[in-house]
A and B are shown apart, each in its own frame.
Chain A
């Protein structure tokens, strides 16, 4: 934008501020675009199409959790209650194992907290794509942020053909599948063979593909390799689950500084 010559230069009006202002108008435009968008009907279908790999992967894991819960003599209604109130696979597995081992309620709650702290990072990262939405929507959306829905939604947001409606469909279809799978596992799980047709690998394969789709710049490759190495070492050396958050934060910071350095010296 051209400034009239007679206008005194405001102190602090640096290119940084200019970029900041540009970003703010972009932000506003994004928001307006979103509210002006015609209410197209395809959001339900798009969300369902994007979520099926998650749902597919949740079925064997949910069944397995249900079977374990059944063996731990947790009633079926309690399994349903847990999947609705918690909706966090790893914490639920740990809960069943700890209940079997006779752990106290408080220690189970504390462990869940530590195991699920990683979602703090995911929630922060996805917030960039959900700016200016109603607080009630955001509060409902937050319930469905899992490793899997996060990875799928971020990949689609990055591609650009994605919005909050499609994203929440992914969250909630995954949630419904998870509830049904865990309850089915508790009811009839012992009659279903474990890991048939490689279903145990479904989520790993999905993560691999989603990871690959994100690697469109050498910065991300470097971040990923750092995280792989760090997480492996951390996992082997330090008990517990701190390796997820710890190595992600360090690897993201190394990637960030590498990008800063590169952009400055280009």
Chain B
């Protein structure tokens, strides 16, 4: 592909990526939002984090099938416990990584 073809492709992708990020912020940040909308939006972070995590934890993403008990899920349990105990984001990231790395050495996968 030539420079111009890449420019067209990435330009197009860039515009359709930017617009959904820009429109709500640009308009809503200068409006007085009704209370119900603020309340509803306050549910979005939790909902979206769970939606992003669900396939990683509960499914085999190559075959797109249910898989309970994969290392990602098993490691998540002690990782969450560590987060509850310490309330540390950085520590949790390291503990999660370490446990996931160790889980690769387990005989049963």
Chain A: residues with CB nearer than 8 A to chain B? 19-20, 23-24, 27, 52-53, 56-57, 78, 81-82, 85-88, 91, 95, 105-106, 108-110, 112-113, 116-128, 130-133, 135, 138-139, 141-143, 145, 147, 150-152, 154-155, 196-202, 204-215, 219-220, 223-232, 235-236, 239, 243-244, 247-249, 251-253, 255-256, 259-260
Distance of A143 Cα from B56 Cα, bound (Å): 26
Render B1-28 as a binary contact track against A, CB cut-off 8 A, 1 for contact: 1000111111111101110111111101
Instruction: Determine whether the beta carbon of B29 is less than 8 Å from that of A143.
Output: no
Chain B: residues with CB nearer than 8 A to chain A? 1, 5-14, 16-18, 20-26, 28-30, 32-33, 35-36, 38-59, 64-66, 72, 75-76, 79-80, 83-84, 87-90, 92-93, 95-102, 104
Instruction: Determine whether the beta carbon of A132 is less than 8 Å from that of B46.
Output: no
11 contacts between A and B (CB under 8 A): A23-B32, A120-B24, A121-B44, A124-B44, A130-B25, A147-B52, A202-B93, A206-B92, A208-B92, A220-B43, A236-B65
Closest residue to B15 on the A side, CB-wise?
A109
Main SS of chain A's interface residues?
A: helix
Closest residue to B33 on the A side, CB-wise?
A128
Distance of A257 Cα from B84 Cα, bound (Å): 27
* Contacting residue for A251 out of B12, B35, B47, B99, CB 8 A: B47
Distance of A105 Cα from B55 Cα, bound (Å): 28
Asked, given contacts A78-B6, A87-B17, A122-B48, whether A198 binds B33 with beta carbons under 8 Å apart, the answer is no
Instruction: Determine whether the beta carbon of B44 is less than 8 Å from that of A248.
Output: yes
Shortest beta-carbon distance from A30 to chain B in Å? 12
Shortest beta-carbon distance from B23 to chain A in Å? 7
Q: Which residues of B contact A113 (CB under 8 A)?
A: 16-17, 20
Instruction: Determine whether the beta carbon of B25 is less than 8 Å from that of A214.
Output: no
Instruction: Determine whether the beta carbon of A105 is less than 8 Å from that of B43.
Output: no
Q: Which residues of B contact A88 (CB under 8 A)?
A: 13, 17
Q: Which residues of B contact A118 (CB under 8 A)?
A: 20, 48
Instruction: Determine whether the beta carbon of B84 is less than 8 Å from that of A212.
Output: yes
Closest residue to A140 on the B side, CB-wise?
B22
| Apart from A112-B12, A118-B48, A119-B21: 20 A-B pairs, beta carbons within 8 A | A85-B11, A88-B13, A117-B20, A120-B20, A122-B48, A123-B22, A124-B25, A124-B44, A139-B26, A145-B25, A150-B45, A198-B97, A198-B98, A207-B49, A212-B83, A228-B51, A230-B51, A236-B66, A244-B48, A244-B51
Instruction: Determine whether the beta carbon of A205 is less than 8 Å from that of B21.
Output: no
Distance of A114 Cα from B46 Cα, bound (Å): 21
Closest residue to B41 on the A side, CB-wise?
A125
* Contacting residue for B49 out of A95, A112, A128, A211, CB 8 A: A211
Instruction: Determine whether the beta carbon of A207 is less than 8 Å from that of B52.
Output: yes
* Contacting residue for A205 out of B50, B58, B93, CB 8 A: B93
Instruction: Determine whether the beta carbon of B72 is less than 8 Å from that of A126.
Output: no
Shortest beta-carbon distance from B37 to chain A in Å? 8
Instruction: Determine whether the beta carbon of A109 is less than 8 Å from that of B51.
Output: no
Q: Which residues of A contact B87 (CB under 8 A)?
A: 213
* Contacting residue for B29 out of A52, A127, A228, A232, CB 8 A: A127
Shortest beta-carbon distance from A226 to chain B in Å? 8
Instruction: Determine whether the beta carbon of B51 is less than 8 Å from that of A154.
Output: no
Shortest beta-carbon distance from A178 to chain B in Å? 13
The 9 closest A-B pairs by CB, nearest first: A205-B96, A198-B101, A227-B50, A201-B100, A252-B43, A113-B16, A127-B28, A231-B54, A198-B97
